[in-house]
Each structure stands twice: as C-alpha cells, then as structure tokens.
Structure 1
Amino acid sequence: MMNQYASATVVSAACNYIMERPDKFTHTYRTYVKLREHGKLELRFWHSNAIDSTWDTGLVARGGALGGQWRIEAAYVADGGTAPDGSVEPNSQVRVTFDGGSGARSVAPGEKFWSDPVKLDLPEGHLLAFTWTISTDAGGKTVPYNTEQMLVTAYDAPGVRADASDAEGFSLSENLLVMPALIASAKPVRQRLVFLGDSITQGVRTRRDGYEYWAARIADGLGSDYAAWNLGSGWARAYDAAAEGAWLSKVKLGQVPGTGTQIVLALGVNDIDIGARTSEQLLADLNTIITVLRQNDPSAEIILFTVPPFNFSEEREQIWRYVNEQIRSASLPGVDRVFDMAALLSQPAPLEHRLCREFMSSADDPHPNGAAGKVVADAFLAWYLGER
C-alpha cells in the first residue's frame, strides 16, 4: 500500500494517551491540518488502535498497550477553508468509507486498518478538515489519542456531528488530538523520510497552526516531492520504540523496501529525564531500534540526531554528555549519518547541556521554540542537500 501512498502532512498524530471514561459515549472530533499539496487529491487514512509511547510515568498510558473496543459511526473529509473556525466549506464534505464502501466500522483492540480511497479537490491555501464520530458500548479505556499541547486547531462536540458543515455544538479542543495515524496521498515521491522522536520532534511549545518546528520546516524546505511522516510523540522515549510495539510498527509501515527510506531518529531527552535510564541503557535501546529497522529494510538510511540540550544537571547532565559523545563518534553500528542538533541549540562551553536562552519556549521550559526550529531546519537542509 505504501508503494502508492505517502504522508501528506507533517502533523504528528502519534498516540500517547487513551480515553478512560466511566460510561459509554458518542462524540465527534474535527481537526484542521495543512497538507503539503493541493488541488485534486486522492487520500487514504490509516489507523492503529494502540498507544505508541508512554505518558509521564505510565500510570494511565504505556507504550505498546492496546486500545479498547470502539466504533467509527461516520467520517468525512472536507475543505476546511482558510481559517479553522469549526465549520467547513458548504457542500465540500466527502464521506470516508472502509472495507469497500462501509460508512461505519467497528475497531478491535490493537487493530490496524486503512480507509478506502477518497477524492477531494482542495484549493491552494485551504486546510483539510477531517471529522469523525466515535462511539463506545461501554466505559473504560477505549480510544488512543495525543494529549500534548495542540499544534493544530481542533474542535469536538457531543453526539453525531460528523456530517455537519457548520460549527454549531463544537467547542475548541485542548490537549485532545483524535486523528487517524496517517493521512496519505496517492502520488509518486522522490524520497521518503520518517521522523521518530519525542515532543521536540512533534513540535510541542511552538505556535498552534504555525508549523514552526524543525520537522515541519525541513519538509517545507525539501518540497512536496519529498514525503515526510512525523512520528514525534510527547513524553516518548527510546525504550518505547525498542520494545517493537505499535510505534515502531508505524516506522516499518513508512519504510518502502528497496527505496532507501530515510529514518531520522531524535530520541533520548525523556529517557535521561523521566525514564531515568543509564547511558548504557539508552545506547542499547537506540541500537535495538536501528537493528530492527535495518532488518526490516536493508536499503533504509538511518540518520541519528544528537540529544538536544534540556537543561539537565548532575548525573543526568553526565549521561547526556556521554551519550552525545558516543553518537558524535559514530560508534553506533548501522547509523549512516549523524546530525549534531545539540551543537546548534547549546550554550557555549562549559554550559553545552543548557539550551540557549533565545531558544527557550518560556523562561522555565527548555522545549525549543519556533526560532530554534528554524535554526535546526536551516542547518539540516544545508547539510542534507549538500551531501546528496
């Protein structure tokens, strides 16, 4: 399937949380995303009913856990216009079907599935609106989703509102991105890139609808004939991927054997921080990820990023320094190229472990801001295009 389709947006829909409610529910979710191409499109939507990465300490959501039983009552794509105001352009909605024409679909725990192809004419500069109504027959843990800061505008409404073109009943969503895992477009591409990382790859703390994070800026700089699938996930850590669960299976899906798919690995901050991993454990997890992806597709090219500065101190600072020394020395087998993101964002020595103040998203938050995203993307594009 991925031979014919490629990711059409840089918005990450990786799942790091799960709905847990006492009673059954029926609810509608509408999300606006900027696609990387416009005009007459053929789209398909792929979903994985599982949690990709661990949230916080894993009390509610742990990487690799399966989603519950739920049902898609209806799903639509539409021209979302130029402003995400909760409505869609009149008469632009096209129903998304499954399994050869069904407008509804029951979803089993851990299930992975594609929609049928859907055609839409999206004018230049307009957003895609994806709307679906989801229901459950019981309470408990059901639908996996992404709970980090919203990087795109989304709305939700109680009841069945998937086919509504107006905004009546919809409220602005916060920390609630309920989307298929992949929006894919039928098109030939020059190169496929998959970005596997944490909230810094996802773009957390940059402006909503701004597409300022480094993965988005890199995709813009390369152009739409390069396919870019962003699998950044807030709180994610390397051991989530090394466990070979749902998250790494998405990377494998993005690999088209024999085409030299490029995989950008940018992990380590949360392993050092809340994951409390030793340097040996983190390096072993990175080695596992690289080995598995190489086995899945020997033609793949692995680009490994250094771990960005995150204002670590004491033992965590020493782990950060040692891991980056190992990455820079190209000592990890199976890595084709190393990109030194940390050097671009760090303060001058001896404070390399601290993020430059102008790149801080706030006075006490070392998530890189949009300015940092530009610095990283500009340097990556110069390095990447210069090497090709």
Structure 2
Amino acid sequence: MGRRHGGMLAALVAMVLLGVAGGGVLTARGGGTASAPPLTWPVGPAPEAVPAAEGPWVASWSAAVTPPLGEGDLELLLENHSVRNVVFASVGGDAVRVELSNRHGEGPLLLSRATVALAEDGGPAALPGTMRELSFRGASPVRVPAGREVWSDPVELEVPDGAGLLVTFHLSGVPRTGTYHRWAMQTGFVAPGDHAAEESGAAFLPAGVGGDGDGRRTTDSWWFLSGMQVRDETAGGAVVVLGDSLTDGVTSTPGANRRWTDRLAGRLRAEPGAPRLSVLNAALSGNRLLRDASPARPFEGDRGLDRLAADVPEAAGAGTLIVQLGINDIRRDPGGGDAGELVAGLRELAGRARAAGLAVVGATLAPCGGSRLWTVRHEEVRQRVNAGIRAGGVFDAVLDLDRALRDPRRPDRLLPAFDSGDHLHPNDAGYAAMAAALDLSVLGEGAARPL
C-alpha cells in the first residue's frame, strides 16, 4: 500500500509497564465466587513488537469505544458473567489476537478467562473445533488497569475472509463505569457464570431482550472489546473510516453486516484487481467534528479532531483514512454553525492524518432535508461545506456521498429509494450506494486526486 502507518500501539507498551498484580477471591454479586489468581506483568521495557505495516499482522475489525450511559450498575449486571461479543473479520488469516479495553473504566477490569472462536451462525454457538483460549503474556487471567487497553497473545486459528467470530470474556471484576461501543448492530450475549469456553452457546439461551430473570440477556453493544488483528502475509494494510451514525450504520439491518463499511470490505474482497485491504469502522453515532459529546450523551464521543490517535490504530497497518464527519455539527447548532470553521476543522484533521503517514479521503455531507432539526439555514451551511470540500486543498481525494445519495429532483433530500424513513440515515440500499461511490484505486495508491 502507498502509505502504511507503522508502529505498535502505545497502549500495549503502557499496559505492560503499568499492569500490576490483582489477586484474591472476588465475591461475585451474581452468585458464587470467581477465582482471580495473582497476575504480575514483567517489570522493565516491553519487548520489541513488529509493526503491522512491517510484519504479517493487520487489523481486521475495530470499534470506537466510549463510556456507557443508563446501563445500570455494571458490577451488578456483569460481574461473574460471561459476555459473548459477535464480530466479523473484514480479512482473514491463520492466527488472531484481540484487544481488551478498559479505556473508560474508573477501576480495574478483571477477566478470569477469555476465548475466541469462529461463529457457527448468527447466535452464540461456536463452530465445533475452533474454540481457542486466550492468554496475555502467557497468563490466562488478566487485570487491565483503569484507562488502559491490552492485546492478547496470538492463537492459531484459520479465519476466512468475512468470517464471524465470537470473543467471550468471563468478567470476575468489573469497574462501575464500563467501556463499550453502543450501536453494534449485532446481537451479543450475556450469561451468569463462566461459559467463555463453551462451544454450544446453550448457556446463553434462551436470552430475551432485557433478560429472562436468571441473568441471561442479549445486548446490542460490544463490551470491553476494541480491536482484532489477524496474521496474513498477503494483506496490504487497512482503511480506517472515522465517522458518525452514517458510518455506524444505525439504520442498517441488524446482524446482516450491511453498513457501508461492510459493503466496502465486500468490494475489496470480490472485485478483480482490488487491493487486499481490511476496512476498520471507527464511527460513533452522534459524533461531531468540532464539539465533544455532552455529559448527557457520552456515547457520542470526543470531537472527531481529537479521535485520530485513539481510534485510528497504529498497529493496523493503516494507509488510508476516510473522514465522514460534519453533519452533526450543523444539525445540533440552531443557526447551522459556521461553514468556514467546519472546512478549517476538516483541513486540520486531514493535516494531522497526513503527518501520521496516512492518505486522506474526505466525504461530502449527505443530504438530509426533511429530517428533524433541519432548516433552510442548515442546508445553506451544508452546501457551503460541500463546496469547500470539492474545491480541493482539504483532502487528497473526495468521496462524494452527496452526489451518490441525493434525489436529483430534490437535491437537498435523500433519494427515496435510499431513505430509511427518517430522511437523515440511508437504508441498506443507500449504504450500498455509499460503498459503490468509492474508487478503489485511491486506496491502493493513496494518490492525491479527486474521485
């Protein structure tokens, strides 16, 4: 790939230096006890790791994570429970490792067991013979300090391109404030006790939404999981998409992987001559370019300008960043905001990304006339921002989502065939149109030319 981003995540180095012993027997509020043997990380410099851009590891899946809101007391809900996250590999490989995240925890996160397996179907069952137990620098229990993230040791597992995987944790100690991605658009599973290594998934069923009275429940979020890498000598790197709800895919069909980033990954796998690249979704619904989330909505995350370091992982071998941000800055401002400030913010974000070695593709702002909060003034600002993006000097290439999604007869609105019904978010067909609008050649070469 033209510009791959080397270097291993600083979070890994910080974790191995700052991790400390955790021990004793934790009384699990969900009933029973969970043993947490002492675990001490080695003291001294971390061993040198091979950057993904220079070695065989490439990020295949990722999620931007935030603090939760309104999920109740996590210690009561999740301690001494197993959480089975369902994720999908945009590219496959012959080994896998995952990243645990306690980035927003107010205290340590303790896992007595963690596993990864290929998913048999859309439920909690693993494909027989694929369950692998995960270790962390050789130990199976792990203590992740508050504010930290940690990669597991690699395990051998043949992961096909586009395969579903189950990443399961038994949580023996949970901070009151958790770390999650709110809109997974994928059903996950929670069950009391340690069922992390169970292939059948029977302990997670039946699991009615909201729970069935015995601690089993489903979840629409990914918990304590922020990344997955695969070992693949043939992958050329990764494309990272920094976006809002349009990239989060909140109106796509749940469990069907029909976000526009999923469709883009499918194109890269299927089209002749396409570069072999993974696609990483770093979206947060409600995210803004210039303003942090309000305290009432922490799951919308820090402003996009400040998310580059946290949500565009160095270890991914990332070579191209796609920026799809700005519409919420306009919508949330009663006056529509300042088009000049937004264009300047996009230019600054692109400059920071280039300084990190990334080529940058920027998306025009999609139409949303008729949606809640939208006015003539908002539309005027959107048009000026799009004009600034198309004029050049902001991004290396432009992905024109406005042109791909608009109704030619009413260009301030989504084409009805692409409208989910709220006049803001696309439906599955609209997400497919977004992916189809990208010229794949700019990903392979990182060239500075318009699409």
TM normalised by structure 1 equals 0.82
Per mean C-alpha deviation after superposition, the further-off stretch among 288-297 and 374-383 is 374-383
Query: The residue matched to 2:250 in structure 1 has which SS?
Result: coil
Q: Which amino acid aligns with 2:179?
A: P
Return structure 1 stretches of 4+ with deviation > 4 angstroms: 122-126, 382-388
Distance 1:237 1:368 in 2: 19
The alpha-carbon deviation at position 175 of structure 1 amounts to 2.8
Alignment pair present for 1:380 and 2:438: yes
Counterpart for residue 159 of structure 1: 193
Note if contact 1:241-1:289 (Cα within 8 Å) is conserved in structure 2.
no
The alpha-carbon deviation at position 285 of structure 1 amounts to 2.5
Distance 1:352 1:278 in 2: 21
Which aligned pairs between 1:297-316 and structure 2 lie closer than 5 A? 297=357, 300-311=358-369, 312-316=374-378
Note if contact 1:13-1:179 (Cα within 8 Å) is conserved in structure 2.
no
Out of 87, 98, 104, the residue aligned to residue 33 of structure 1 is: 87
Deviations 1:108-137 (A, max 9, x none): 222132111111134688532111122436
Percent sequence identity over aligned pairs = 25
Counterpart for residue 75 of structure 2: 24
Go from structure 1 to structure 2 and tell me whether the alpha carbon gap of 1:123 and 1:268 turns closer, same or farther (over 3 Å shift): closer
Distance 1:372 1:383 in 2: 22
Out of 106, 119, 122, the residue aligned to residue 68 of structure 1 is: 106
Distance 1:97 1:385 in 2: 35
The alpha-carbon deviation at position 221 of structure 1 amounts to 1.0
Q: Which amino acid aligns with 2:247?
A: T
Counterpart for residue 359 of structure 1: 418
Out of 85, 88, 96, the residue aligned to residue 43 of structure 1 is: 96
Q: Which amino acid aligns with 2:223?
A: V
Alignment pair present for 1:193 and 2:239: yes
Alignment pair present for 1:244 and 2:244: no
Deviations 1:325-354 (A, max 9, x none): 11111142xx211121111111225x3221
The alpha-carbon deviation at position 243 of structure 1 amounts to 4.8
Distance 2:74 2:182 in 1: 20
List gaps (5 residues or longer) in structure 2.
1-50, 208-216, 270-274, 291-301
Q: Which amino acid aligns with 2:228?
A: I
Note if contact 2:190-2:219 (Cα within 8 Å) is conserved in structure 1.
no
Distance 2:244 2:200 in 1: 35
Counterpart for residue 146 of structure 2: 109
Note if contact 2:94-2:159 (Cα within 8 Å) is conserved in structure 1.
yes
Go from structure 1 to structure 2 and tell me whether the alpha carbon gap of 1:348 and 1:234 turns closer, same or farther (over 3 Å shift): same
Go from structure 1 to structure 2 and tell me whether the alpha carbon gap of 1:278 and 1:255 turns closer, same or farther (over 3 Å shift): farther
Go from structure 1 to structure 2 and tell me whether the alpha carbon gap of 1:174 and 1:48 turns closer, same or farther (over 3 Å shift): closer
Alignment pair present for 1:330 and 2:386: no
Q: Which amino acid aligns with 1:222?
A: L
Out of 180, 187, 190, the residue aligned to residue 145 of structure 1 is: 180
Alignment pair present for 1:2 and 2:47: no
Go from structure 1 to structure 2 and tell me whether the alpha carbon gap of 1:217 and 1:381 turns closer, same or farther (over 3 Å shift): farther
Note if contact 1:16-1:234 (Cα within 8 Å) is conserved in structure 2.
no
Go from structure 1 to structure 2 and tell me whether the alpha carbon gap of 1:18 and 1:136 turns closer, same or farther (over 3 Å shift): farther
Query: The residue matched to 2:98 in structure 1 has which SS?
Result: strand
TM normalised by structure 2 equals 0.71
Counterpart for residue 231 of structure 1: 282
Counterpart for residue 78 of structure 1: 117
Out of 229, 248, 260, the residue aligned to residue 214 of structure 1 is: 260
Out of 289, 304, 314, the residue aligned to residue 253 of structure 1 is: 314
Note if contact 1:242-1:288 (Cα within 8 Å) is conserved in structure 2.
no
Note if contact 2:90-2:162 (Cα within 8 Å) is conserved in structure 1.
no
Distance 1:192 1:272 in 2: 30
Which aligned pairs between 1:259-298 and structure 2 lie closer than 5 A? 261-274=319-332, 277-297=337-357
Go from structure 1 to structure 2 and tell me whether the alpha carbon gap of 1:68 and 1:243 turns closer, same or farther (over 3 Å shift): farther
The alpha-carbon deviation at position 97 of structure 1 amounts to 1.0
Deviations 1:211-249 (A, max 9, x none): 22221111111128212211122111223345535x533
Note if contact 2:187-2:221 (Cα within 8 Å) is conserved in structure 1.
no
Go from structure 1 to structure 2 and tell me whether the alpha carbon gap of 1:226 and 1:134 turns closer, same or farther (over 3 Å shift): same
Note if contact 1:30-1:155 (Cα within 8 Å) is conserved in structure 2.
yes
Higher-Rg structure is 2
Distance 1:184 1:275 in 2: 39
Q: Which amino acid aligns with 2:380?
A: Q
Go from structure 1 to structure 2 and tell me whether the alpha carbon gap of 1:23 and 1:236 turns closer, same or farther (over 3 Å shift): closer
Query: The residue matched to 1:262 in structure 2 has which SS?
Result: strand
Distance 2:332 2:172 in 1: 34
Query: The residue matched to 1:377 in structure 2 has which SS?
Result: helix
Query: The residue matched to 1:173 in structure 2 has which SS?
Result: strand
Q: Which amino acid aligns with 2:418?
A: F
Note if contact 1:218-1:381 (Cα within 8 Å) is conserved in structure 2.
no
Q: Which amino acid aligns with 2:52?
A: M
Per mean C-alpha deviation after superposition, the further-off stretch among 303-312 and 219-228 is 219-228
Query: The residue matched to 1:308 in structure 2 has which SS?
Result: coil
